[in-house]
Each structure stands twice: as C-alpha cells, then as structure tokens.
C-alpha cells in the first residue's frame, strides 16, 4: 500500500462563472473526500455574483483566483500552471463527486504502477433534477480510446485525474475553442497514450440549467471540426490515425454543410462547403477514396 502522503499529492481545479450555489455544492463534495487533496484551486472566470464572498467565508482554505472572463480553457490552464501537486483533478462547478472518488482513482493509479497518466471514471447524469439514462454511444471505457473519442467527447472533465506532467507533452487546453475544448484535449492525449478507467460512477453531473456552455452554441460539430482541422495541419497524428481523422472530418463537414443547406443558411453553407472542398483536394495525401 502506498503512503497516505503520496496519495494526497493531488490538486483540485474548479473553474467557475456566476455559479455561486452550484459551486458551494461542488466544494462540499471535495471536502467530503476520503482522501484530502493537497490543495483546492477555484478559478473565477469573471463572476459578477457573490462567488468570492461565499468561497472566502465558507471555504477559507481554498485558493481563490479571480480572472477576467477569458473562457473555461483559460481558467483550467491557469489552474494547471498554479497547481503544486503531481496529480490534477478537474471538477466543473455544477457537478459533484462521490466521497471516494479521489481515493479510488489514486489507488488505481498506484496499483497499476504508474501505467496511466490519465484516469477517468463512470458518471451519473441528471437533467432538470431527473435521472437521465445514458445512451450506448455515451458508454465510457479505458485503454486505447482514441477512435471512440473522435465522434464526441467521451470523457467528462469532472471525472478526470491527470498527472501534471502530461500537459508538458500534449499542451494545454485550446483557449480559442469556446466549447469542445475537452474533446480537443482528450483526442490529443488519447492519440498517444492509454487511458485508465474505473467503471464505478464516481461523479454526478447536473444538466438542464440555462448557463450550460453546450446550450449556448448550435452545431457542436463545428468546434470538433476546428479541432480536427488544427490537429491534422499540425501533424499530431500517426499515419494510420490521420487517415481515420481525415475520414471523420469529411463526414462532419458533410453533415454540417447539408444541415446548413436544408435550413437555407447561405453563410454557413458557404463556409463549410468551402472547407469541405478544400479537404477533398487533400484526399490523395490521406489515401482515402471519397
């Protein structure tokens, strides 16, 4: 059994924006952990409510950092750079952890002799206060999850535990992506590394509230397309991976273009038809017949 001191070497990073009540619940779940983290960092992404007063009065040991409103990626990146632990755990301010979340992940890490630098867990979803049954396509897994990660984000940030040094090798969250920044981060990591996974649900996710980022943007595939384009151009993937990514990119561009055509959205149609035409000219490079 590894030492309690080593098990406690984890920093919790919580980005937030005007979610005072949700944040209180999230922080309470961190303080109930059976393994206490070394530090808890809240990155306030420009809140105008009483978030700071709540955190400082109820949770004085929490490191509270006030930032200008630069988005969730910038907030997470700030937390990563400030963190002093070997392991980092992200928690969205509208989610909460079960009490043994950190303990079970850290024990899993050390029992596997540091095979994994990225470990996630299963989760339970609620929407508008009601239990939401996950579809088959949302089923979580571990190991080589790269192929599965290309359709949509298959890891929730709140379930993730990562070694801080993983960001030295794969970069930080892309601050140019308003949403799907987690999708982008996970495909970069999973293209190079195996992912550890605990099938027990250790996170409760709550959706349905008005300020969810996924509700603010139509056509989430637009942001996944941006990620796939960027990473192909940057030669992130192996030759075999690039072929698969290229195929997925063409499919997503086709879907968005067809959707814009049906809705009569000429501006979006032109943008994504131009993108599709451009990438079709690259088919020889990826040895993929359209």
Q: Does the pLDDT value for residue 209 go beyond 80?
A: no
Based on the fold, state whether residues 86 and 141 are members of the same structural domain.
yes
Question: What was the pLDDT predicted at 1?
Answer: 45
DSSP 8-state code for residue 143: B
* Of residues 125, 93, 126, the one with CA closest to residue 18: 93
Identify whether residues 145 and 225 lie together within a single domain.
no
Least confident range from 17-21, 102-106, 128-132: namely: 128-132
Other Cβ atoms closer than 10 A to 249:
23
Kindly state whether residues 248 and 107 are assigned to the same domain.
Answer: no
Tell me, what's the pLDDT at 4? 52
Which region among 6-15, 95-104, 259-268 has the lowest average model confidence (pLDDT)? 6-15
Instruction: Specify the CATH number for the domain of residue 139.
Output: 3.90.550.10
Nearest to 180 by CA among 123, 130, 227, 241: 227
Q: Residue 212 phi/psi, 5° resolution? A: -65, 135
Q: What is the CA radius of gyration of the chain?
A: 20
Same domain for 73 and 13: yes
**212 shares a domain with 228:** no
Domain boundary residue, one of 216, 240, 271: 216
Nearest to residue 149, comparing CAs of 237, 45, 216, 29?
Answer: 237
Are 149 and 183 in contact by the 8 Å Cβ rule? The answer is yes
Residues 212 and 251 occupy one common structural domain = no
Do 102 and 182 contact (CB within 8 A), yes or no? no
Q: Which two tokens stand for residue 87?
A: 């392991």
Which residues, 6 or more positions from 274, have their beta carbon under 8 angstroms from its beta carbon? none
Read off the pLDDT of residues 111-149 as tens digits, 9 standing for 90 and up.
998 899 999 999 999 988 788 877 777 889 999 999 999
Could you tell me the two tokens for 229?
């384009």
* Reported confidence tier of residue 30, pLDDT bands at 50, 70, 90: very high
Average pLDDT value for residue range 254-267: 95
- Distance in angstroms (rounded) separating the CA atoms of residues 98 and 33: 8
| CA–CA separation, 129 and 235 (whole Å) | 43
Domain count, the chain: 2
Q: Which domain holds residue 230?
A: 221-286
Mean pLDDT, range 14-25, rounded to an integer: 96
Q: What one-character DSSP code corresponds to residue 281? A: T
d(CA 137, CA 26): 27
- Residues across the chain: 290
**pLDDT grade for 287, boundaries at 50, 70 and 90:** confident
Ramachandran category for residue 217: left, alpha or beta (phi over 0 → left; psi -120 to 50 → alpha)? beta
Per-residue confidence (pLDDT) for residue 212, from 0 to 100: 54
Same-domain check for residues 165 and 25: yes
Looking at the fold, whether 23 and 43 belong to one and the same domain comes out as yes
Same domain, 171 and 280: no
* Residue position matching structure tokens 């992912």: 195
User: Average pLDDT of 238-250?
Assistant: 96
178 and 35 housed in the same domain: yes
Which of 188, 216, 244 represents a domain boundary (last residue)? 216
Residue 215 has pLDDT above 80, yes or no: no
Helices (H), strands (E): how many in the chain? 13, 9
The reported pTM is 0.92
267 vs 65: CA distance, rounded Å:
40
Structure tokens at 191: 């293209």
Whether 14 and 33 share a structural domain: yes
One domain, residues 226 and 197:
no
- pLDDT tens for residues 39-53? 999 999 999 999 999
Q: What is the mean pLDDT of residues 193-222?
A: 81
User: Please, what is the average pLDDT of the chain?
Assistant: 92
Tens digits of per-residue pLDDT, 177-196? 999 999 999 999 999 999 99
């Amino acid at each position: 059994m590894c030492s309690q001191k080593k098990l406690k070497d984890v920093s919790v990073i919580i980005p937030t924006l005007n979610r005072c009540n949700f944040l209180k619940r999230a922080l309470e779940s961190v303080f109930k952990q059976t393994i206490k983290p070394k530090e808890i960092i809240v990155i306030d992404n420009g809140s105008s409510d009483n978030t700071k007063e709540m955190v400082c009065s109820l949770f004085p040991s929490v490191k509270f950092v006030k930032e200008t409103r630069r988005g969730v990626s910038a907030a997470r990146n700030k937390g990563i750079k400030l963190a002093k632990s070997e392991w980092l755990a992200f928690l969205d301010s509208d989610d909460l952890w079960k009490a043994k979340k950190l303990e079970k992940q850290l024990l899993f890490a050390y029992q596997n002799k540091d095979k994994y630098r990225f470990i996630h867990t299963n989760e339970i979803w609620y929407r508008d206060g009601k239990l939401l049954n996950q579809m088959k396509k949302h089923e979580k897994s571990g190991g080589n999850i790269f192929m599965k990660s290309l359709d949509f984000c298959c890891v929730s940030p709140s379930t993730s535990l990562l070694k801080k040094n993983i960001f030295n090798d794969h970069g930080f969250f892309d601050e140019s992506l308003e949403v799907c920044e987690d999708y982008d981060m996970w495909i970069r990591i999973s293209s190079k590394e195996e992912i550890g996974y605990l099938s027990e649900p250790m996170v409760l996710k709550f959706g349905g509230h008005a300020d969810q980022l996924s509700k603010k943007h139509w056509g989430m595939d637009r942001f996944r397309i941006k990620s796939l384009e960027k990473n192909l151009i940057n030669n992130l993937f192996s030759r075999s991976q690039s072929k698969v990514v290229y195929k997925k990119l063409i499919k997503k561009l086709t879907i968005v273009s067809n959707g814009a055509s049906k809705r009569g959205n000429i501006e979006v149609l032109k943008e994504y038809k131009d993108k599709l035409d451009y990438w079709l000219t690259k088919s020889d490079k990826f040895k993929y017949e359209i």
